[in-house]
Amino acid sequence: MNKTDALIIGAGPTGLFTAHQLKLIGLNCEVVDNLDKIGGQCIELYPDKPIYDIPAVPECTGEELTNNLIKQLNPFDIKFHLNERVEEVKKENDNWLVKTSNGTSFSTPNVIIAGGVGSFEPRKFSPKDCEKFEDKSLFYSVKNKQIFKGKVVSIFGGGDSALDWAIELSKDCSVNLIHRRDEFRGAQASIDKVHNLAKEGKINLFTKYQMASAIGDQQLKSIDIKHDNNGVKNLKTDYVLGFFGLIMQLGPIANWGLNIDKKTIEVDTEKFETNQKGIYAVGDICNYPGKLKLILSGFHEGALAARACFKLARPNEKYRFEFTTTSTNLLKRLGKKSD
Amino acid sequence: MAKITYITHDNKDHTIEVQNGLTVMEGAVQNDIPGIDADCGGGMACATCHVYVKEEWLDKLPSKEDGEEDMLDMAFEPKKNSRLSCQIVVSDDLDGLTVNIPSKQG
């Protein structure tokens, strides 16, 4: 059981700056995120796209913004739990008991939801019969490539993940690469390589095809793929890999007894607290009259939620407002002054 | 102004007057038409405002910009008449446009 003053759900820009604000006022915190890296939408959706409306930063990309926010956390010791999704938030005495998909549990008076539009999950095949093979012979990511050795693997998708795995697995598997159109959107070098491997007969390329059906009882036997002109082809296959990027799902947050409207959580504008005492929502996921879905709004919301956390984490102390320019306390925490 | 008809997956028609300059996605979101999530808010980064454009309108719409087809690779059940509604800007010329909303966005 991890005890902490505040648990932040979501390691996007808002979650990161909220962590900064908590540590600055002397609270400890931990951060959970379902992605395998820090940065949220900034790193997953637009790492290379320039952003022009961060105050005092005329231009930066999603990746640069994330790196700067991480740098701003350097003075502090903050534990990040990546690749974990918060599944359960339950009241236990005065604290919230929080459990993740990996079985990590936390006890904390404060839970701050900085979850954007929800957690990133892989996009899945649309035919219903694909579901029963999921995690057995049909995967949306590769955890152990050894299982494919000598087998027939059918890879779907047109981006770098699909191309890279097609190239890699073509070394010791029989690879089908299936994509909905002729053009691929990955790195040019990978596209060229795939076309060369296809010419050499090392990759079977099927373009303008999409998944129509997965066939087999317990064990996957074959798949039907459908051409744009409605022609169907049956491919014998041992494994299927689908790489269609990620989509944001609200997921378990919907079950925590919060007031949710259109995938956003209602909060007050003093503490950014939800209808549950000690649970706050900040950034894109919160909603209140006048809410703007801008990163700068998330920073403000996180700063106020952090102050609200102080009351529940340190009920016998009084929070005193201080500036980083002058406060010895704050400068010590920032590592700029020694004791 | 243009009258845009959104047909939801349950086959219900929703005809809305959408102001010029707004996108077909914004017209749907502002009028609470279900089925268009628009998670990224119009940044062409998520493919959750995917619609099917009625055939006769396909050629009348401004053509796809770089990146839209790439995002459509990730959309749920893309077809030849798939578009991202955040990339279709409404003008008088689009009066009468009809789009079908897929059964889900992901």
- DSSP string over A202-253: SEEEEESEEEEEEE-SSS--EEEEEETTS-EEEEE-SEEEE---EEEE-GGG
pLDDT of A164: 96
Closest CB to B74: pick one of A49, A245, A249. Answer: A245
Q: Do the beta carbons of residue A36 and residue A141 sit within 8 Å?
A: no
Calculate the alpha carbon distances from B78 to A97, A165, A275, A339 in Å: 42, 23, 39, 62
The whole-angstrom distance between B68's CA and the closest CA on chain A is: 11
**Given an 8 Å threshold on Cβ–Cβ distance, is B80 in contact with A228?**
yes
Q: Do A123 and B74 touch (CB under 8 A)?
A: yes
Nearest to A308 by CA among A113, A14, A110, A137: A110
All residues of chain A having their beta carbon less than 8 Å from the beta carbon of residue B105 are 247
Chain A contact probe: residue of B44, B72, B73, B105 with most A CBs at under 10 A: B73
C-alpha distance across the termini of chain A, in Å:
31
Residue A233 has a CB neighbour count (10 Å cut-off) of: 14
Measured between alpha carbons, how far is A17 from A15 in angstroms, rounded to an integer? 6
| Cross-chain Cβ contact A46/B47 below 8 Å | no
How many beta carbons lie within 10 A of that of residue A229, not counting itself?
6
Give B53→chain A minimum CA distance, Å.
17
CATH superfamily of B2-100: Beta-grasp domain (3.10.20.30)
| pLDDT value, residue A263 | 85
Encoded tokens for A152: 């027939």
Nearest by Cα to A81 from A64, A62, A63, A106: A106
Q: A2-121+247-333 maps to which CATH number?
A: 3.50.50.60
pLDDT at A233: 97
Phi, psi of B44 (to 5 degrees): 50, 45
Tokens of A59: 């231009």
Name A300's Cβ contacts closer than 8 Å, sequence gap at least 6: none
CA-based nearest distance B90→chain A, Å: 23
Q: Identify any residues that bridge with A266 across adjacent strands, giving them in sequence order.
A: A287
* CB distance A64 to A49 below 8 Å: no
pLDDT at A192: 97
Q: Are A42 and A294 in contact (CB under 8 A)?
A: no
Q: Output the tens digit of pLDDT for each of chain A's 339 residues.
A: 999 999 999 999 999 999 999 999 999 999 999 999 999 999 988 888 899 999 999 999 999 999 999 999 999 999 999 999 999 999 999 999 999 999 999 999 999 999 998 888 899 999 999 999 999 999 999 989 999 999 999 999 999 999 999 999 999 999 999 999 999 999 999 999 999 999 999 999 999 999 999 999 989 999 999 999 999 999 999 999 999 988 888 889 999 999 998 889 999 999 999 999 999 999 999 999 999 999 999 999 999 999 999 999 999 999 999 999 999 999 999 999 887
Question: A286 is written with which tokens?
Answer: 């919160």
| φ, ψ for residue A34, nearest 5 deg | -75, -25
Chains A and B form CB pairs within 8 A to the count of 53
Query: Where in the sequence of chain A do the CATH 3.50.50.60 domains occur?
Result: 2-121+247-333, 124-244
CA B96 to chain centre: 13
Indicate which of A43, A128, A182, A244 best probes the interface with B, i.e. most B CBs within 10 Å of its own CB. Answer: A244
Given a contact cutoff of 8 angstroms between Cβ atoms, the answer to whether A123 and A246 are in contact is: yes
Distances (CA, A) of A119 to A78, A180, A285, A289, A333: 21, 26, 11, 24, 32
Hey, what CATH class is A124-244 in?
Answer: alpha beta
Contact indicator for A338, A51 with CB cutoff of 8 Å? no
User: What SS3 state is found at A169?
Assistant: helix
| Residue B8 touches chain A, beta carbons under 8 Å | no
Question: What pLDDT, on the 0 to 100 scale, is given for residue A143?
Answer: 86
Q: Which of B45 and A174 is assigned the larger pLDDT?
A: A174
Q: What is the pLDDT of residue A29?
A: 98
Per the structure block, which two tokens stand in for B20? Answer: 């010029």
pLDDT over 70, % of chain B: 100
Angle at A15 between CA B40 and CA A272, to 5 degrees: 90
Q: What is the pLDDT of residue A326?
A: 94
Query: Taking Cα atoms as reference points, which of B81, B23, B80 lies closest to residue B52?
Result: B81
Element (H, E) at B5: strand B2-7
Residue B45: pLDDT band (50, 70, 90) is confident
